[in-house]
């Protein structure tokens, strides 16, 4: 069975991420680890008699058989460390899991990946920023990663589904459950254009210690981590710190200095642990990402109930890239005041985005 030996290795008592990688590096494969002699195993630094004995424990193989059956039944992919299908960005991280369990359709090596994190106690301010930011990300061809928790995580996934952006949730438990249960429907929607990933096999409960651990996967999968809203203590700041340790970019939205759930973001910015951003163009500048605009076809425009004027405006903007309101007024022969209302309506429909200086571009 594919990945059976790698899976079995994760069940061996006394072998964590560091020891497992030492063994895999030394012997070349998980199968070779299990077939190695006692004397050869003891040569590996940190591997003692108890670990060698644990490699022969029958329960290890029974657990691997059970998990493999579960994976096959539910079409879950096993991604083994150092294998071709293991996420390349995560592979660069020293503490990356030896085994990942993934269910979904999204490419974990997507060209541009953004992790979005924040407090479980999201305010209206944080939710609004999250939705607006992700809507603007449509133009950049990104994939969004978050933790499928209450608050900002859920907002990020919901907005991604809403705006047809692939999104992957990193879980702190096995794929035999969804936590919180209220996100079950959201998780099902995510599987259509995204996925769910975890380092924990089935029957693993959402234990308190799992969530700080899974944060390294959220940070490690992405090019940049964006903190939308967060207190001084919490998973969002842990994820930001991990991303910094991985030498990945970190951004944060500033907030009201009197609000508890803005103190974390403000702290990250003040201590130069995160770049201050207020709009998607700030991320574009930091990451040197050009928008990847795709023209909406006539059928899609029809579904959005656009008027003839809106359709003509949209096509002008697509053809010209970025156009000022004054230029559009001249090209459309419409008074600026009336045009401003039409452009606002098109923003609300997700067709256009307003840039500084009353300039507009397609989303």
CATH number for position 29: 1.10.150
Question: Max alpha carbon distance in the chain (Å)?
Answer: 85
- 84 occurs within a structural domain: no
333 with 253, same domain: the answer is no
**Which of 287, 306, 330 lies at the terminal end of a domain, its last residue?**
287
277 with 302, same domain: the answer is no
CB 1 within 8 A of CB 41: no
Residues with Cβ within 8 Å of 232's Cβ and at least 6 positions away in sequence, in order, are: 263, 264, 267
Split at pLDDT 50, 70, 90, the class of 46 is confident
Lowest mean pLDDT among 16-30, 125-139, 316-330: 316-330
Q: What share of the chain is helix, strand, coil (3-state, %, to 5)?
A: 50, 15, 40
* pLDDT given for residue 60 in this prediction: 94
Question: For all residues of the chain together, what is the average pLDDT?
Answer: 92
- 98 occurs within a structural domain: no
Half-sphere exposure of 42 (CA within 13 A, CB side): 7
211 with 323, same domain: the answer is no
Which pLDDT tens digit goes with each residue over 130-173?
A: 999 999 998 899 999 999 999 999 999 999 999 989 999 999 99
Lowest mean pLDDT among 50-64, 113-127, 287-301, 331-345: 287-301
* pLDDT given for residue 361 in this prediction: 83
- 28 occurs within a structural domain: yes
268 with 233, same domain: the answer is yes
d(CA 154, CA 146): 8
CATH number for position 240: 3.40.50.450
Mean pLDDT for the stretch of residues 327-350 = 89
* pLDDT given for residue 317 in this prediction: 85
302 with 265, same domain: the answer is no
- 316 occurs within a structural domain: yes
Mean pLDDT for the stretch of residues 351-363 = 83
CB 175 within 8 A of CB 67: no
* pLDDT given for residue 128 in this prediction: 95
- 92 occurs within a structural domain: no
* pLDDT given for residue 292 in this prediction: 74
**pLDDT value at 1 more than 50:** no
Please give the tally of structural domains in the chain: 3
- 105 occurs within a structural domain: no
Which pLDDT tens digit goes with each residue over 247-259?
A: 999 999 999 998 9
273 with 186, same domain: the answer is yes
Residues with Cβ within 8 Å of 72's Cβ and at least 6 positions away in sequence, in order, are: none
Split at pLDDT 50, 70, 90, the class of 288 is very high
**Which of 287, 309, 342 lies at the terminal end of a domain, its last residue?**
287
207 with 233, same domain: the answer is yes
Lowest mean pLDDT among 15-19, 185-189, 305-309: 305-309
Which pLDDT tens digit goes with each residue over 268-277?
A: 999 999 999 9
**pLDDT value at 86 more than 80:** yes
**Which of 287, 319, 352 lies at the terminal end of a domain, its last residue?**
287
CATH number for position 358: 1.10.10.10
DSSP 269-284: HHTTSSEE-SSHHHHH
348 with 262, same domain: the answer is no
Split at pLDDT 50, 70, 90, the class of 357 is confident
325 with 259, same domain: the answer is no
Q: b/e map of 230-240 (b: 16 or more CB within 10 Å)? A: bbeebbbbbbb
* pLDDT given for residue 302 in this prediction: 60
Beta-sheet pairing, 167-170 with 143-146: parallel
280 with 305, same domain: the answer is no
Considering only residues 3 and 285, tell me which one the structure prediction assigns the higher pLDDT.
Answer: 285
- 102 occurs within a structural domain: no
216 with 163, same domain: the answer is yes
Instruction: Please give the residue range of the domain that contains residue 40.
Output: 1-68
d(CA 100, CA 216): 13
Mean pLDDT for the stretch of residues 198-217 = 95
Distances (CA, A) of 342 to 148, 312, 319: 36, 12, 19
- 275 occurs within a structural domain: yes
């Amino acid at each position: 069975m594919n990945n059976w030996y790698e899976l079995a290795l994760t069940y061996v008592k006394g072998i964590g991420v560091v020891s497992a990688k030492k063994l895999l590096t030394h012997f070349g494969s998980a199968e070779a680890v299990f077939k190695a002699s006692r004397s050869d195993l003891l040569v590996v630094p940190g591997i003692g008699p108890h670990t060698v004995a644990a490699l022969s424990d029958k329960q290890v193989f029974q657990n691997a058989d059970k998990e493999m059956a579960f994976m096959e039944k539910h079409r879950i992919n096993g991604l083994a460390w150092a294998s071709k299908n293991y996420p390349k960005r995560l592979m660069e991280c020293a503490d990356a899991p030896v085994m990942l369990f993934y269910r979904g359709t999204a490419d974990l090596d997507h060209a541009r990946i953004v992790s979005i994190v924040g407090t479980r106690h999201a305010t209206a301010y944080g939710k609004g920023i999250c939705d607006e930011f992700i809507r603007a990300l449509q133009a950049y061809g990104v994939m969004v990663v978050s933790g499928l928790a209450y608050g900002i995580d859920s907002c990020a996934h919901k907005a991604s589904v809403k705006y047809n952006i692939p999104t992957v949730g990193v879980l702190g438990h096995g794929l035999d459950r969804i936590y919180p249960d209220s996100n079950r429907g959201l998780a099902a929607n995510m599987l259509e254009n995204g996925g769910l990933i975890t380092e924990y096999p089935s029957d693993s409960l959402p234990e308190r210690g799992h969530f700080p651990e899974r944060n390294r996967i959220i940070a490690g999968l992405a090019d940049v981590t964006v903190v939308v809203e967060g207190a001084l203590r919490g998973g969002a700041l842990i994820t930001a710190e991990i991303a910094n340790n991985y030498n990945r970019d970190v951004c944060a939205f500033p907030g009201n200095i009197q609000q508890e759930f803005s103190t974390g973001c403000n702290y990250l910015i003040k201590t130069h642990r995160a770049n201050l951003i207020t709009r998607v163009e700030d991320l574009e500048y930091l990451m040197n990402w050009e928008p990847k605009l795709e023209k909406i076809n006539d059928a899609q425009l029809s579904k959005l109930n656009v008027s003839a004027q809106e359709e003509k405006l949209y096509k002008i903007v697509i053809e010209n890239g970025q156009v000022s309101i004054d230029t559009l007024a001249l090209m459309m022969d419409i008074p600026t005041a009336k045009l401003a209302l039409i452009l606002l309506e098109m923003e609300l429909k997700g067709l256009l985005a307003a840039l500084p200086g009353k300039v507009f571009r397609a989303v």
